[in-house]
Every structure is written in C-alpha cells, then in structure tokens.
A and B are shown apart, each in its own frame.
Chain A
Amino acid sequence: KAGVTQTPRYLIKTRGQQVTLSCSPISGHRSVSWYQQTPGQGLQFLFEYFSETQRNKGNFPGRFSGRQFSNSRSEMNVSTLELGDSALYLCASSLTLQGGYEQYFGPGTRLTVT
C-alpha cells in the first residue's frame, strides 16, 4: 500500500505570493491533518479535514487555509507569504477522525520564502 504523498517536495516563493501544497493520503484513510515544522517552534498542528470538512484547527492566522476533496486528497493554501512561513509542511493521514488511530506522515514539502 502506498504511503502518504506530498507535492511538491520543495518550493521557493517570494514574500507576498501565495502557495498551494497537495497531499494524497493512504488509500482508505479519510482524515488528513497538516503540521508546520520549524526549528524554533517545532511541530505545530494546522488543521484536520475529514469528509471534506475542517474538524480541528490550530492557532494559525487565516492566511492558512485548506480543503479536502471527495477522494480524501487535501490541499493547503498559504496566502500573502511571510518570511516566517518558511518551514517543512507535513501532511498526515489517519483512518478516522476518532483519534486512537496512528497517523502516517508524508515526507513533507519544504517551503522557502525569500
């Protein structure tokens, strides 16, 4: 069974631009969560989607948004990029929303904002 895939793997953007990252979960998994990883803040939860609806949201500004499609694939969007948005963005998939199931992480998208 294929793992979680994320595209693109690397991205360089300029401050003020917007960016869209994509995540394909493991087949059969319906929950997709997004995390931001930076050296200073570590791993921080962005949001979780299940059945095309945002179910949980972390403490990030509204510039960070996401969506989930009917096939469970998910995208996250960051508008008006700031230098501080440079990070590794990790997507994780899980079987359900209930918790108590492990999350499987993708390799991440490395975003650099210049």
Chain B
Amino acid sequence: AQSVTQPDIHITVSEGASLELRCNYSYGATPYLFWYVQSPGQGLQLLLKYFSGDTLVQGIKGFEAEFKRSQSSFNLRKPSVHWSDAAEYFCAVGAPMTGNQFYFGTGTSLTVIP
C-alpha cells in the first residue's frame, strides 16, 4: 500500500528566504504525486502535480517540486517565501490502479516571520 511521510511537522522561515518541504513516499511503481496547500478553515488547493516525464515540475505561486525516484522523494521548493505562504502543506500520492484514492502525509505547518 502507498504511504507518505512528511518528516517536518513545523517549519519557520523568514520572509524572502528559500523554502524546502520534504516528502517521501512508499509505492512499488511510479505514483502520481501532488502537493496541496491548506489555509486555516479552508479546503485544499492544488499547488502542483507529477504524473510522468520531466522530474522538475512547476506549480502555482512560484512553487516547484522535484521527483527523485532513487530517493522516493518529491520535495517542494520555493526560492523566496512570502508572508502569504504561511499555511499547512500536504504531500499526497495516488496510483494508476486505485482511482482517485489519495494517501496524504501528515502535513507541514509553515510559519513565515517578517
């Protein structure tokens, strides 16, 4: 079965600093990989996705993520964080044979300090 690990429960960065959120997955083949962001009291917004092809994917709001098969990782990055990026970030994995059943990591809470 698939599983997702987000090792960092909480991260604090200064505005303007770079950001990397870690995500490791467990799956026997190449999964579908996603990053979602959730602001307080809101649903989840898709930042980016990886299905196949180029391992560096670009998303909305200046985010990007890199799929590394050898490390079973899909880390999210942003070169310069804005105060509005403060939120909860979730990595999710899906699989070709399981429809739209996603497995989510436990999330990383991002705090941005001025």
Contact = CB atoms under 8 A, between A and B. Distances in A.
B100 interface: yes
A7 to B, nearest CB: 13
Interface residues of B, number: 27
Interface residues of A, number: 28
A35 B95 CA distance: 17
B44 A90 contact: yes
B99 A98 contact: yes
B43 A56 contact: no
A91 to B, nearest CB: 8
Q: For the complex, would chain A's binding face be called helix, strand, loop or mixed by DSSP majority?
A: strand
A45 B107 contact: no
Interface in A50-100: 50, 55-56, 58, 90, 92, 94, 97-100
B49 A45 contact: no
A34 to B, nearest CB: 11
Contacts of B103: 45
B104 A56 contact: no
Contacts of A44: 104
B10 to A, nearest CB: 13
Nearest to B92: A43
B99 A102 contact: no
Contacts of A105: 36, 43-45
A48 B101 contact: yes
